[in-house]
Amino acid sequence: METDKYSKAISNHPFKLTDKAVAEKTAGIIAEKFNENNNQKVYKKLYGCIDLTTLNTTDTKESVWKFTEQVNTFDGTNPEVDNVAAICVYPNFVEIVKEALTANVKIACVSGGFPSSQTFTEVKVAETALAIADGADEIDIVFNVGLFLEEYYEELCEEISEIKEACRNAPLKVILETGALKTAEKIHKASILSLYSGADFLKTSTGKGYPGATPEAVYVMCQAIKSYYFKTKRMIGIKVSGGVATVEDAVKYYTIVKDVLGEEWCNKNHFRIGASRLSDVLLSKI
């Protein structure tokens, strides 16, 4: 069960807002600030923050190669628009992307028993290490929601720390699966425990089996990142994923991140959108 070290980490970052208050604050930010960010300049910036994702049961070596070639083809075609930030794939396809990729784009890889996180810690660590060895630049893992709900915080945090070690120097994104956590209080607590354990990014959702990103969840996660930054001066990134398919969605999330964390977070080093469809929609707007 819960131990003092982890309770202290949580209590160092108090969060008092109810779900209703979070919804009101989030709606207020969007109502007040959305229009100022709904423009070509932001669309172009957003395109460069996309983790272009293919995580399908039907993925093949050939389909992943073609997927990568689309990113290569875009490179340099529009001097005003940076290429996507990363290509995100399953671990067994990292080598294919590495071989096919000529664009200056990162290789992100889901790992650690994605999408449920329900396997042995040793398997999660090994899978991460193998992905890094094959050329992954970034690792996306799923927060162990089962351990969290039972308040086995020590086991939960040690698992994240072990996976972080296996990443070597690669950034670690921890997917909270906010649709399973449901409440603002749980999302905030999970955020703090992930940050305490070495996460470089917090990410909303897998997009598999649970509701995806919501503005409210992103607001809460940003508040945790903000509080953590004040205490540690570590700039932790945020990745929004799960159902982000329209330009309006993307601008809403950008607006929340900008309002809570500031302009310095609004770049591919600290803000990502995990998406498979958004890139084409954004390009058509640009």
CB 204 within 8 A of CB 213: yes
- In tens, the pLDDT along 144-191 reads 999 999 999 999 999 999 999 999 999 999 999 999 999 999 999 999
Range 4-285 has CATH code 3.20.20.70: yes
Q: Is the peptide bond before 115 cis (omega within 30 degrees of 0)?
A: yes
The yes-or-no answer on residue 203 being catalytic is yes
Least confident of 25-29, 136-140, 282-286: 282-286
Tokens 């399953």 belong to 90
Q: Which three-class secondary structure state does DSSP give residue 183?
A: coil
- In tens, the pLDDT along 12-49 reads 999 999 999 999 999 999 999 999 999 999 999 999 99
Cα dist from 264 to 184, 237, 267, whole Å: 25, 11, 7
Any idea what the Cα angle at residue 99 is, between residues 95 and 105, rounded to 5°? 95
The yes-or-no answer on residue 61 being catalytic is no
**Residue 76 pLDDT:** 86
**Residue 128 pLDDT:** 98
Q: Which three-class secondary structure state does DSSP give residue 207?
A: coil
The yes-or-no answer on residue 140 being catalytic is yes
- In tens, the pLDDT along 196-215 reads 999 999 999 999 999 999 99
Q: In the chain, what are the domain boundaries?
A: 4-285
Q: Which one from 164, 239, 252, 258 is the annotated catalytic residue?
A: 239
Q: Span 56-64, mean pLDDT?
A: 98
**Residue 3 pLDDT:** 55
